[in-house]
Structures are given as C-alpha cells and as structure tokens.
Amino acid sequence: MSTTSPTPSLPAPAHAARLREALLAADFTADGLLDLLGAPAYAALARSETVPALRATRGDSPLETLVRLFLLQEAVEYGRVAAALPLEEALADGWVVREDDTVRATVDIRPYGGPDGEDWFIASDLGCAVGGASGIGRKDEGVVLGVGGASTTLAGITVRTPVSSALDLGTGSGIQALHAAQHATLVTATDLNPRALDFTRLTLALSGAGEAELLQGSLFEPVDGDTYDLIVSNPPFVISPGARLTYRDGGMGGDDLCRTLVQEAGERLNDGGYAQFLANWQHVEGEEWQDRLRSWVPRGCDAWIVQREVQDITQYAELWLRDSGDHREDPQRYAERYAAWLDEFEARKTRAVGFGWITLRRNPAVVAGAVEPSIVIEEWPHPVEQPLGDTVRAHFERQDYLRAHDDAALLTEHFTLAPEVMQEQVGLPGAEDPEHVVLRQNRGMRRATKVDHVGAGFAGVCDGSLSAGRILDAIGQLMGEDPVLLRDRTPQAIRLLVEEGFLLPAGEAREG
C-alpha cells in the first residue's frame, strides 16, 4: 500500500540536542506536566480532552508555552516561543513554522518517562499521539502514531537484560527502539513506512539516545539473514477487511501477519534470545484458540502466550471503526464499512478476536532435541503489575528448572516462599476451620491459587532450610497421614506452585 506522507516533510535532527536542552530547561517532562496541569487535567489530556489543559496553561511561562505548542498544537505568539526555544534553529530544522506573528508545531513532541527516571521525548504526527489534541481519527496513509497503551504494554513486558543486538520490527515512532538502546549494543529498527523511520530518528535524537540502524521494508525482509538477541514488535495486528491504514492494518488476511511474524522469528533469534510481540488472533468456529496459537510457535523455541482480552466481532469492528473516525462520517457509509467487517469475519468463520502477548525464547536444548519445548498458553484478563520483564524471564527459568527435575528430584530440593505472597483463609465467619486457603501474589502477574491444608502448611514453612520431602514427612506426622502417600500425591502441587512463581528454588541450600 502507498505510504504517502500526510505532510510534505519532517524536521531535521541537526539541532535536536539544543532543542532537548531547551525542553529540559523548561521542565517539559512527564513530571513537569503533571505538576503544571494537575492530575485531573493531565488525565483528561489522555482522553483527548484539551479544555482543562488549555485552562491550566494561560500563563506565559516557557513550560506553558511548550505545552500549548507541542501537546495542544495551538498557535502561540512568536515572542513567547522565542523565549522558550532556540527558535531560529527550530524554524530552520522544521520543528515549527511561522504564521505571521505566531508559531505552530509541525510534529507532536510528547514527554515520556523512562524506566529509570530518564526524560525522553516521543515525536509523532500532529493529532496522532494517543491522547493528543485531536485524538486518533486520522486516516492518512503513512500516518505515524505516538505512544499508546499497546506501546507501553510491550515496553513493560520486554526482558531487559544486556544484549549485543536488538531488533524493533515495525518501529513506528521509535519507542521500543528507544528502550532497547538502553541495554543493547546495536539496535536495528525497521518499518514498511519510511516516515516512521524518520520519526524514530527524531525520537532517538530528542531523547539523547544513540543512533539506530534504520531499515525500510516489511517483516524480516530488510534484515536479510541477520539474527538477534532480542526481537520486539508492536505490529499492525488489526484483523480488518483490507489494508487502509499502515499503522494498524497488516495487509494480510485474518491474523496471517501475526502468525507469519511469530513463525519466522525463531530462525532470527540467537540461542537464548527472546522475541516478544503484541498480537491479535482469531477465535474460529470449531477450533480451540489455544491450538491455533500453538501451531504458530516455531521449532526450537519455548513460548509463553497470554490472552489478555477477547472481543466479539461486533465490539471489535466498532472499536476500529471509531479508531479511524468512520463513525463521524455519513451514516450510510459507516454502515457499509461495518457490514464489510462482519462479512470478512463470517467468511473466515471468526466468532471473536483475542488480544495478548507472545514471548518466544530460542532454546538450544530444544533445537538439539534434548528436551521438549515448553509451550504455555493461558488466559489472564486480570490486573498485573508492570513492568513484567523480570517476571517473563523468571517464567522461562522456572520452566528450565522443572524440566530438569522429575517428581523424585523435586522432593530432594529446597524451596522458599516468594516474598510477595500472602495467604488468605476463606470461610464462614466464626467457623473453626476455613473452607479453603488461597495463596496470592501482590506483584508481577498477581496470581492466586487455592491450596489444601497440606499445600498451605508446606508453603508456610518453606524457608530453604529443609528439603521438600523432609517437610512432607513432618506434615504427615503432625496430621496423622502416611508420609509415603503424601510424597506420592504432593509433587504435582509443588510443581504447580513453582511453575506459577509461588515457590522459588533455594539453590544449593542443604538441611542443617
């Protein structure tokens, strides 16, 4: 599809460092915005409601000027802008344009706080930052969006260990490349849309990050046969009838783009490397959605796939028709587009669409056939605590541990209760004993699991000092149960508690 730019050109990054200095000097940062606007106006801006922010920026401070210029995209008096920016350089490079006695921004510049308190800036097309002055509703081909919920979700779940090489596939405004630049020696960013690559260059320069290798093309075509330690992608995953909008529509039928991306990622990973994606997938009549996703996992890889949300086809169509602003057009035209979406789903026997995270890890032992791949596919629509990068890495480490320990070996191991786990007893008020016991995590995935009295007692005394078998023997004596039978029936419960992160292996600890 064509990637015609919505505006003739983008700014040059020649004096981006000077512009960054001015933005920081004015406290044009995520924290500075919150302090200036206040929580209600700041939250309203995220809903594309600008009136509270306009009221909060009626003064003439440099920060108020920059908010009106770059976030609210208002025309601002020339003298006010000159007091806030190196204006001649900004005009020469094309960040702003002069209109008589006022100045207007040519791009959206949005403060973004990095994971370690960094002050970053994300550049995108005017009116296309999520929560921007105009909201999403642009239908220009090649338009580049700013940071939204999907972007921050992917950034939060990405494993952040130091790596030699990282690939941001479908970079958009460059947020994933910016994150990767903090822990990867070499960052490569690709996009089918050349305008997105230009915006990524601006984002990196404004944020004071190093340059990335920027390549144009679809999927893995631009990188030839190169392999990486980390691959991340927030692809155009929307399942739609046709490819109208580059930023969201993949141009392949159904969920084929996401499937192709996942299947081809395996051979692009170095041993031990991670590939992490956001994706949509079809729920097809007569097919289990878990089986569909299992077939996507490439050879040689372990996988953890989490379905976070499911929408029926009418909800899904309405969501994306509103995203593109079709609901504001002629009602008859809107009805025709809506029908086209439903026709597409009907032809593919699609009854719902799932959204979630897909993480692959290339495992040399799986490649060699020494172990079976670990493929965990689950539905988890509940709240989680971001960032989850360490949680994702720990999931795969636990899978390695469990594959290396059969039930007998587990009983010789030592465990500790994860520090964030709490125990809840559920039952009628005044009852002598609870009906059941729940172990609940207060961090990460925030899982909860029911355990019986043996499981609760076992977890409660796991401090690494005794082996699992010795603990079960002691519980058997206290409860008057046969220790041999306890040893036979309990390992599966221990395995589940380890797999879900309630119990942690205690390393080389030994009984005293």
C-alpha separations of 396 from 245, 285, 301 in Å: 36, 32, 11
**The pLDDT of residue 501:** 96
What is the DSSP secondary-structure string of 283-318? EETTS-HHHHHHTTSPTTEEEEEEEEEEEEHHHHHH
Q: What percent of the chain has pLDDT over 90?
A: 83
**The pLDDT of residue 127:** 81
Nearest to 287 by CA among 349, 359, 197: 349
Nearest to 439 by CA among 369, 350, 501: 501
**The pLDDT of residue 46:** 80
**The pLDDT of residue 253:** 85
Nearest to 459 by CA among 480, 438, 478, 477: 438
CA-to-CA distance for 27 and 47, rounded, in angstroms? 23
Q: What φ, ψ does residue 98 adopt, rounded to 5°?
A: -100, 135
CA-to-CA distance for 195 and 214, rounded, in angstroms? 11
Q: Which residues lie below 8 Å from residue 179, measured CB to CB, with a gap of 6+?
A: 114, 115, 155, 158, 160
Nearest to 133 by CA among 48, 47, 44, 63: 48
CB atoms within 10 A of CB 322: 15
Q: What is the CA radius of gyration of the chain?
A: 26
CA-to-CA distance for 456 and 210, rounded, in angstroms? 50
**The pLDDT of residue 247:** 74
CA 98 to chain CA mean position, Å = 38
67 DSSP 8-state letter: I
Q: Flag residues of the chain having pLDDT under 70.
A: 1-8, 129-141, 243-244, 508-512
**Which pLDDT tens digit goes with each residue over 205-226?**
999 999 999 999 999 999 999 9
CA-to-CA distance for 338 and 349, rounded, in angstroms? 17
What is the DSSP secondary-structure string of 355-420? EEEEEEEE-HHHHTTSS---EEEEE--S---S--HHHHHHHHHHHHHHHT--HHHHHH-EEEE-TT
Q: Is the pTM of this model over 0.85?
A: yes
CA-to-CA distance for 213 and 375, rounded, in angstroms? 32
Nearest to 69 by CA among 102, 45, 94: 102
Query: Edge-to-edge strand order for the sheet containing 301-312?
Result: 213-216, 184-191, 163-169, 228-233, 269-284, 350-362, 301-312, 375-379
**The pLDDT of residue 140:** 66
Helix axes 194-206, 16-25, angle to 10 degrees: 50
- For residue 191, the surrounding DSSP H or E stretch is strand 184-191
**The pLDDT of residue 138:** 55
249 DSSP 8-state letter: B
CA-to-CA distance for 163 and 185, rounded, in angstroms? 7
**The pLDDT of residue 49:** 87
**The pLDDT of residue 509:** 38
CA-to-CA distance for 308 and 303, rounded, in angstroms? 16
211 DSSP 8-state letter: P
**Which pLDDT tens digit goes with each residue over 299-316?**
999 999 999 999 999 999
**The pLDDT of residue 135:** 40
